[in-house]
Amino acid sequence: MALIANFMIGIFDSGYGGLTVFKEIEKTLPQYDYIYLGDNARAPYGDLSQELIYNYSRQAVDFLFAQGCELIIFACNTASATALRRLQQEYLPVKYPGKNVLGVIRPMVEAVLELGPKKVVAVMGTKSTVDSGAYINEFANLDKSIKVVQEACPLLVPLIEASKEKEPQTKEILKVYTNDLKQCNPEVVVLGCTHYGWLWEEIKNNFSPETIVLESGQVVAKKLFQYLQRHPHYAQISDNPSRIFLTSGNNKKFDLAAKKFLGREIKSQTVKLN
């Protein structure tokens, strides 16, 4: 198969959460061009209907492929849980044959299993991700013996989008969300929402020191690295790799949040998604 020229990877999330994934992907695979797209104007997705999440995710896919992306990563559990399979099975083969969109849920489940035998795994996620049962199904496909306990945490994404991770109210809310999970003595807690990476430390403090709290960034970066090795036609690298940041929301606000998280200045542009 011929090498793909100007190989560009699109990274999509409803908002800032996917930056936790982009940061690790960029560290692991700096040689590629990236476009990050945050649908901040319509975030959070977590309480929306499955149909709406599907439609918004499809619009993001159309947008990113139109920008020249060859591969898209849904750095969003909510879109991965509710829209990804349908897009992969029904939409991509017809509209974009040969192009692919990858999600975060399967890599996270595989990463837990790679940690060795586990009895109880806790998943924290948006209402939509939890209701979809995507994590329960994915674990059941790979290892039926694991008990999966879940907690929907609908207040966390709005707090993170409003940059309130360090506020006392966020700590109090986290205690409520983690209390029941803690009673189940999970060996691993899966942060089943890419926004929660911003709260990794605060969440970790709510569980026993032995509990592993797994966030998507490093896991997805490693799995993408492996995927690209298995698909060598994507091997084309850029001489001068570009980073483009796009948001459907306020670009100044996006730049501030990105600076806080990525530790460097970026200049995003506002785009319209429809």
Which residues are annotated as catalytic?
76, 193
The three-class DSSP label of residue 129 is: helix
Question: Which of these ranges, 8-16, 56-64, 199-207, 244-252, lies near ligand DGL under the rule CB under 6 A?
Answer: 8-16
Q: Pick from 8, 9, 10, 13 the residue near ligand DGL by CB under 6 A.
A: 13
- Which has the closest alpha carbon to 87: 61, 115, 122, 125? 61
Nearest-approach distance from CB 161 to ligand DGL, in angstroms: 8
Query: What are the residues whose beta carbons fall under 8 Å from the beta carbon of 37, sequence distance 6 or more?
Result: 10, 11, 12, 13, 60, 63, 64, 246, 247, 248, 271, 273
Q: Is 57 in the site for ligand DGL (CB under 6 A)?
A: no
- Here's the x/- map for ligand DGL, 151-190, by CB under 6 A: it reads as ------x---------------------------------
How many whole angstroms separate alpha carbon 267 and alpha carbon 274?
22
The interface region with ligand DGL, picked from 76-84, 91-99, 222-230, 246-254 by CB under 6 A, is 76-84
Span near ligand DGL by CB under 6 A; candidates 12-20, 24-32, 62-70, 249-257: 12-20
What contacts 257, CB < 8 A, 6 or more positions away?
16, 19, 163
Is 44 an interacting residue with respect to ligand DGL (CB under 6 A)?
A: yes
Binding mask 90-109 for ligand DGL (x = CB under 6 A): --------------------
Tell me the CA distances in angstroms from 158 to 14, 66, 267, one per residue in order: 11, 29, 23
